[in-house]
Structure 1
Amino acid sequence: MSTPTRSALSRRNFLTSAVAVGAASSLAAPAFAQAVDAYTGQTLQQVGPTGATPDAGLVQYDTTKDSRHNISSFTMQDWQPHFQNLTNGAILVDLTSRALHFWSEDGQTYRLFPTSVPVSPELTRTGRTEIIKKVEGPTWAPTPSMKKANPEWPDFVPAGDPLNPMGTHALWLSWQYYRIHGTHDTRKIGRKSSNGCIGMYNEHIKQLFGLTKVGTQVVVL
């Protein structure tokens, strides 16, 4: 019998730890489910790693400042205060209400979705950008700093893997590392819980993916 490769062992350890955590979470009290990240097996922490990265790794949120659980207190908005026109459609990400608004180019379609937002001001970027790439079934790889801190993590997680923190669809923004994407971890939605990206329920990012195009305007405020 051949000896398993290092990458195979790393992925096995990664998957085993995540499955173990998931099983334990189903038996433990709700507080435990909010104390451990289902994908990494790591303890949830307050603001830690610096720098904007794809929304992966530790789930972070400050329980002393954020008492809402998967709830975004948002209302409908008009596009005119934020955009000069609707060319290519428009997305407004409201960090305060933790909501994403979409308007189609012809103004006939409007959608409002709850989101997750960055956990701290240091990880937050605001201003004007646009969609530069659309990916259905995004893959994920840990950043160098994540890999250094967790050498047992796999070098690559394929599309469709339930452990993939990018969810089912992703919209690349012109800002490096910033994306609007899905998530399998629904605890994140409605919370300050990302390392810079904007997270959405997978069923919602799928809808948004179908409505947007490369060039769709984006404002984050």
Structure 2
Amino acid sequence: MNRRFFLSAGIAAAATAAATAASANPFANVVMFDPDTREPLIARPHAAVAQANAIPREIVAYHGAEAPGTVVVDTNARRLYFVMPGGQAMRYGIGVGRPGFEWGGSQTITRKAEWPDWRPPVQMLQRRPDLPRYMPGGPDNPLGARAMYLGSSLYRIHGSNEPHTIGQAVSSGCIRMTNEDVVDLYDRVRVGTRVVVLR
């Protein structure tokens, strides 16, 4: 077998494998785009891959100064902590603001909503005039299963219909969680809970 035939056979085999994978995975060829720049991001992985890459929710030791009941967001580590009594915290993986959309400070949860609807803020519509003006709550809504609104700001801690983005800096400043994790956190916090965002 000459080299040209060997390479052609290898390419054909790879194409066959890709076609087989695509037929087994309906999302194999779906490409995600940055909502502002419209540049391609990453291929949306199969649910099993997303699950394998998930950041597990777990109870960890916590030695910070914040009182039990406080939410602490470590944007650099891309982790959120719900402080518990006895020097412990529930730790979650999160997605955070992409470059240019980072922020820090202290806020308070002023509202909670289950399967919230979504109205893109004016600033986002100026960047993305093609976005819908309103989207009802549900599995396709970018706010996911729960949302906790932070002060009078545009920021929220919310679920996501793109769980593969957890652990990345891709949002417009909101704190993203998987739907499973945001439901867990939602049940632990109340309106008035203090949220500390570290940069």
Compute the TM-score of the two structures, normalised by the length of structure 2.
0.68
Aligned to 1:102: 82
SS of 1:36's equivalent in the other structure is: strand
Calculate the aligned-residue CA RMSD, in Å. Answer: 3.2
Q: Distance in 2 between matches of 1:145 and 1:128?
A: 22
My pick for the range that moved more, 184-193 or 69-78, is 69-78
Corresponding residue for 1:198?
Answer: 175
Conservation of the 8 A alpha-carbon contact between 1:183 and 1:200: yes
Larger Rg: 2
* Structure 1 residue ranges (4+ consecutive) displaced by more than 4 angstroms after TM superposition: 69-75, 106-109, 148-152
1:147-191 alpha-carbon deviations (Å, 9 max, x no partner): 45555543211011x331100100011151011000010121000
Residues 55, 92 of structure 2: 8 Å contact kept: no
1:158 corresponding residue in structure 2? 136
- Describe the shift of the 1:210–1:74 C-alpha distance in structure 2 as closer, same or farther (beyond 3 A): closer
1:82 maps to which residue? 65
Map 1:47-62 to 2 at 5 A: none
Q: Distance in 2 between matches of 1:141 and 1:153?
A: 9
Whole-angstrom CA distance in 2 between matches of 1:108 and 1:170: 27
Partner of residue 36, structure 1: 32
CA distance in 2, matches of 1:128, 1:146: 23
CA apart distance, 1:44: 3.3
Is the CA contact (8 Å cut-off) linking 2:56 and 2:92 kept in structure 1? Answer: no
Residue 81 of structure 1 aligns to which amino acid in structure 2?
A: G
Provide the TM-score with structure 1 as the length reference.
0.62
Offset from partner CA, 1:56-80 (integer Å, 9 cap, x none) = xxxxxxxxxxxxx9566999452x5
Aligned with 1:82: secondary structure? coil
The residue aligned with 1:133 is 111
Higher strand proportion (structure 1 or 2): 2
Asked whether the 8 Å contact 2:78–2:94 carries over to 1, the reply is yes
Select which of 181, 195, 199 maps to 1:218.
195
Q: Distance in 2 between matches of 1:126 and 1:148?
A: 24
One-letter amino acid of the counterpart of residue 36, structure 1: M
Q: Is contact 1:142–1:156 with CA below 8 Å preserved after alignment?
A: yes
Alpha-carbon distance in structure 2 between the residues aligned to 1:26 and 1:186:
14
Aligned residues: 162
* 8 Å Cα contact 1:93/1:220 also seen in 2: yes
- For structure 2, the residue ranges without an aligned partner over 5 or more in a row are 1-24, 42-51
Q: Is the 8 A contact 2:61 2:88 kept in 1?
A: no
Amino acid at match of 1:166: L
CA separation of 1:71 and 1:156: change in aligned 2, threshold 3 A = same
Match of 2:91 in 1: 112
- Deviation of 1:99 (Å): 0.5
